[in-house]
Amino acid sequence: MQKQIIYCSCKGDIINKELASQVTQILKKSNVPVYELSDLCGLCALNKEIVQELITKDKETLLIACYSRGVNSLLKFAGLDIEDKNIFYLNIRNNSIDTVLGSLNSFTEFKGKERQFEKIEADKDWPSWYPVLDYERCTACGQCSDFCLFGTYEKEDGQVKVVNPQSCKNNCPACARICPDAAIIFPKYTQEGAISGNESIDEALELQRQRKDVEQILGNDIYKALEGRKAKRQRIIKTEAIDKAIEEREKALKEQKKK
């Protein structure tokens, strides 16, 4: 089976830049094809077809990125059925260069000259900060959808989905902080714990954190607070629709005047 290495050099602040640079230089001498992605998150959101073409069941793939739980959720969001893929994960979020080298050497050989190395760029203008869902933990309670003011989520057919990742506000993980099941992952979240996609979850600690965050963000009456946010979201949607209609009307009038 053909081997390949896919490496996310990440636009976020979760990977040490010096380590990322060292890994890039090493991978250029790989004995198997290497694809360096500027941002796996961005590609999974806006260029899903690229990810789908790269990771196929007829290739053995070493995927170098962050936590496997977060990466798994990203790939599923990109429409990949990862169960039939031959994917091996290498987390460089908090590993040393020696650990990374050991894993790389067990996957392939490295020669003295540069070989097949291709860079794939994601959208440079979007920080690709958005949530993905761990459906093994999600109970579809819809609390995230009710809480979010910006239409990032929708609940349909008994499942919560991220439908508008670009609407998410950069560096805001509030929906994940109040999720009762620790099912929301922000892969670019710089702190540790379930929100970062870490697969080692201290359930008692997460429950304690979640209770504290809910009280801080929503107060004592959670349901009243969520209802208030739902109403506010509807007002935002209506305002945006009106603004868009006015913009389209002005554009139509200008076009009419040109004629």
Per-residue pLDDT of the chain (259 residues; tens, 9 = 90+): 788 999 998 876 788 888 888 888 888 888 889 999 999 999 999 999 999 999 988 889 999 999 999 999 999 999 988 777 788 999 988 888 888 888 888 888 877 676 788 899 999 889 999 999 999 999 998 888 888 888 899 988 889 999 999 999 899 888 998 898 899 999 999 888 899 999 888 888 888 887 787 777 665 555 566 666 666 656 555 555 455 555 655 665 566 666 5
Give me the residue spans of the domains in the chain.
2-120, 132-253
Q: CB of 71 within 8 A of CB of 87?
A: no
Which of 70, 51, 48 has its CA nearest to residue 59?
51
- Please tell me whether the overall predicted TM-score, pTM, comes out greater than 0.75 for this model: yes
CB atoms within 10 A of CB 88: 15
Q: Tell me: domain 132-253, CATH 3.40.50, correct? A: no
Q: CB of 41 within 8 A of CB of 126?
A: no
